[in-house]
Amino acid sequence: MPGDRRYWFRAKRYGWGWGLPLTWEGWLVLAVFVGLLIGGSLAFPPSQQPALYFAFVAILSAVLFVVCWLRGEPLRWRWGADRGE
């Protein structure tokens, strides 16, 4: 990883945050995230265990955010055509 600056997630063109993945590693992270969300919905039905489900989604989202932060383009507010496009 040191010296490897190939980003897994591209920054959004407008606003703050990341868009869809750029690499297979990013797509794998996103697929695992979605799979765990679906599995969590079955394991902790939101209608029966809303607090546990909310905690599960919050933890998963925090992990996804950290991965995007570490492997995505640096964040800043973007106004569109600032990539030379």
Is 14 within 8 Å of 80 (Cβ atoms)?
Answer: yes
Does the structure show a pLDDT above 70 at 20? yes
Q: What is the pLDDT of residues 32-83, one digit of tens each?
A: 999 999 999 999 999 999 999 999 999 999 999 999 999 999 888 878 765 5
Asked if 11 contacts 19 with a C-beta cutoff of 8 angstroms, the reply is yes
In DSSP notation, 4-43 reads: ----SEEEPSEESSEEEESSHHHHHHHHHHHHHHHHHHHH
